[in-house]
Amino acid sequence: MSSPPLRVFLCREQDRTLWELRKAVGVPQRTKDRAQALRLSGMGWKVEKIATYLKWSPSTVRSTLHRWQLMGLAGLWDAPRPGRRRKWLPENMAVISEKLETEQRTYSSRQLCQVLATSQQVYLSERQLRRIIKKKLLMEKNKKLNKRKAESQGERN
């Protein structure tokens, strides 16, 4: 025998919470989509119809509904990603940028690491600091190129 169709039954408070979560700012899109899938299931939509509407596979919809049944509201969010957290913050790099722009001297990566260690209590290797600075410079360069492209296309039109 086949099992009955998978469906979630929501009370008014749960439906309202999911609706507010769907509209909330700062909530990951995946979480919003999961909330939408639950609301649709609560309205009586079948798994296949929800999957078509959200452009998901039916197994993804089923796993979302099962997560709700097992974990409730906490099941909507993703688990933390593996890996080590970064030791530095963008504010730390702003201190380095300010120091490089305001002072009339050059710094080696070792000296910049010492500046970070003493002023920000952030301990990075010289190699890591060079990578971060290089990445930041490439991003700024790309931003300038994209801006120039947009301006030149604006002149054409």
What's the half-sphere exposure (Cβ side, CA atoms, 13 Å) at 53?
A: 15
**DSSP helix/strand/coil, 112:** helix
| Mean pLDDT of all residues belonging to the chain | 87
Tell the residue number behind the tokens 């296309």, with chain if given. 153
Q: What is the pLDDT of residues 31-52, one digit of tens each?
A: 999 999 999 999 999 999 999 9
Q: Distance between alpha carbon 141 and the CA centroid of its chain, in Å?
A: 24
Cα 44 to Cα 48: distance, rounded to the nearest angstrom: 12
Cα 151 to Cα 38: distance, rounded to the nearest angstrom: 45
Residue 1 has pLDDT above 60, yes or no: no
Confidence label for 146 from pLDDT (cuts 50, 70 and 90): confident
Average pLDDT over residues 101-108: 86
3-state helix, strand, coil in the chain (%, to 5): 70, 0, 30
Q: Out of 1.10.3710, 1.10.10, 2.40.50, 1.10.3210, which CATH number does the structure's domain 12-76 have?
A: 1.10.10
Contact present, 132 and 93 (Cβ < 8 Å): yes
Residue 127 has pLDDT above 90, yes or no: yes
Confidence label for 29 from pLDDT (cuts 50, 70 and 90): very high
**pLDDT value of position 13:** 94
First to last CA, the chain: 65
**pLDDT value of position 156:** 65
**pLDDT value of position 80:** 82
Cα 23 to Cα 108: distance, rounded to the nearest angstrom: 48
Cα 62 to Cα 47: distance, rounded to the nearest angstrom: 7
**DSSP helix/strand/coil, 80:** coil
Cα 101 to Cα 104: distance, rounded to the nearest angstrom: 8
**pLDDT value of position 64:** 94
B/e letters for 90-116, b = 16+ CB within 10 Å, e = fewer, are: eebbebbeebeeeeeeeeebeebbebb
Domain parsing of the chain, residue ranges: 12-76, 90-156
| Highest mean predicted confidence (pLDDT) among 22-36, 74-88, 90-104 | 22-36
Residue 105 has pLDDT above 70, yes or no: yes
Which position has the higher pLDDT, 67 or 139?
67
